[in-house]
Structure 1
Amino acid sequence: MRNFMILTDECPSLLSVPLPHTIHMKSWQGSGNSWTMYIHYHLHGIGELQDFGRVASALNWHLTTNKDLRPGRYNGPRIAADAVARYYPRDRYQKKVIDIAAGTGFVAENLKARGFQHIDALEPSASMIAMAKKKGLYETYYENMLNDDPLNIETDTYDCAVSCGGFGEGHIPCAGIKELIRITKPGGIVCIVMRQCYLIDVEEYKDRLVPFMISLENTGMWTRVSRHVVQDYFIDLPGVVFLYTVQ
């Protein structure tokens, strides 16, 4: 067994998962130049990839066949939904939620199972959105990346902005959090679930993400409710859950 980086339903997150050599070779032969583009994406980040959608389409095979993403191995979506549900024990059907880096809808599936009905999706990949639409999980779809550019979403729209797997190498920058705060109502929550190791291993977040979160709290933009480590976020790797209320 060897480890290869593949695009997964954390979307657009990257997971290093063990793949049999035969699967790797089949994927390589089947994707041609798109695989080269995908490697470029991983090394240089989404911002330098001109056609993210073609790469996602070429790797959709992984999304439907990779058993490492099944519940019990990739537990991030359940962990995220549980965190949001704990904060909103009642009237969940009334809450308006946006799923950031929604992928094909793993988080939304878990939110729906807990009684949340009004969920929108923010996702940069058209092919991922197409897959999510087949499930009928979201009310509105925004084909956008989250960064420091303003989204085409009104201020104070959501009761909750949740991101599971959107914070990783080449993904959402620290500055994107300000947009999460802007589109969330005062008194609403921002929930970020990510691999714990990314706080150290990813240059964008190392010694930056947590201090940035603290600085936003110091300026009165949000207040921390909790930060806790969870086990088995992905297989045996721990995750961290940040929960903040917007001021």
Structure 2
Amino acid sequence: MSDEFFRSTYDLETPEQTEAHYQKWAATYEAEVAEQGYATPDRVAQALWSQKPKSQTPVLDYGCGTGLSGVALRNAGFEVIDGMDPTVNMLAVAKTKGVYRTLSSFEITDPAPLTNGVYTAITAIGVIGAGAAPPETLDMLMHALPKGGMLSFSFNDHTLADHTYTARLNDWLDMGAARLLFREHGPHLPGLGMKSDVYVLEKT
């Protein structure tokens, strides 16, 4: 299977390029990541469940893509899952999964697409990072949580190599604005030799 989309993902420089890239990739995305053993969705979902094992907790799956993350959240134990993604072609595939209570789109250039305080649990699975959402997305998601709310997310190897992302995370921790509940380095796309860090933050 072609690795065209994998190779070009980390060269994307603007939100518009990112959206166009994933619009084109939607039809083959799941087959291609499955071929590489995509492990991060299950790892992030299980990490959140380990800290908040309540099936009726509404979870926002931010950047839900084709819904692989929603399936992982359902398999982990969550039953009330809302998905958001700027890519309508991806959302069309996510709808077929039958795991979401609601699915909605937003403008990829909108700096604040969420209403603060609505969710006590948010995931960003494979969303924040090189070739995807910028570092300030972490700020936006954390600000959207109430005190005690949890954000479960991942940074892949490309993202971990970019200090702007890890610095943004460390700012939240160093200021005492968030508490690190979970961190684990493990498989991301084993077929490509890639790993990722999985985190759960609690807003303080």
TM over 0.5: yes
> Does residue 45 of the first structure (1) align with residue 37 of the second (2)?
no
* Counterpart-to-counterpart distance in 1, 2:24 and 2:68: 20
Relative distance call for 1:114 and 1:190 in structure 2 (3 A) is: same
> Does residue 162 of the first structure (1) align with residue 161 of the second (2)?
no
* Counterpart-to-counterpart distance in 1, 2:165 and 2:107: 18
Query: Which residue of structure 2 lines up, in the alignment, with residue 82 of structure 1?
Result: 46
Percent identity between matched residues is: 20
Shift of 1:160: 1.2
Query: Which residue of structure 2 lines up, in the alignment, with residue 11 of structure 1?
Result: none
TM-score in terms of structure 1 length: 0.71
Relative distance call for 1:57 and 1:216 in structure 2 (3 A) is: closer
Query: Which residue of structure 1 lines up, in the alignment, with residue 34 of structure 2?
Result: 69
* Counterpart-to-counterpart distance in 2, 1:209 and 1:125: 23
Q: String of CA shifts for 1:176-219, please: whole Å, max 9, x gaps.
A: 1121112222212111113134211xxxxx22222222222333
Query: Which residue of structure 2 lines up, in the alignment, with residue 192 of structure 1?
Result: 153
Q: 2:189 aligns with which of 234, 239, 243?
A: 234
Shift of 1:63: 2.6
> Does residue 244 of the first structure (1) align with residue 168 of the second (2)?
no
**Which structure has the highest strand share of the two?**
1
Shift of 1:75: 0.8
Q: 1:212 aligns with which of 147, 160, 168?
A: 168
1:148 and 1:179 in contact (8 A); partners too: no
1:47 and 1:170 in contact (8 A); partners too: no
Relative distance call for 1:57 and 1:198 in structure 2 (3 A) is: closer
Relative distance call for 1:159 and 1:61 in structure 2 (3 A) is: same
Q: String of CA shifts for 1:73-114, please: whole Å, max 9, x gaps.
A: 11111111110111123xx22211111211111111111122
Please state whether the residue corresponding to 1:43 is helix, strand or coil: coil
> Does residue 104 of the first structure (1) align with residue 66 of the second (2)?
yes
**Structure 1: gaps (5+ residues):** 7-14, 17-38, 201-205
Query: Which residue of structure 2 lines up, in the alignment, with residue 175 of structure 1?
Result: 136
2:44 and 2:154 in contact (8 A); partners too: yes
1:119 and 1:140 in contact (8 A); partners too: yes
> Does residue 93 of the first structure (1) align with residue 55 of the second (2)?
yes
The residue identity in structure 2 corresponding to 1:183 is: A
The residue identity in structure 2 corresponding to 1:207 is: H
Shift of 1:134: 1.9
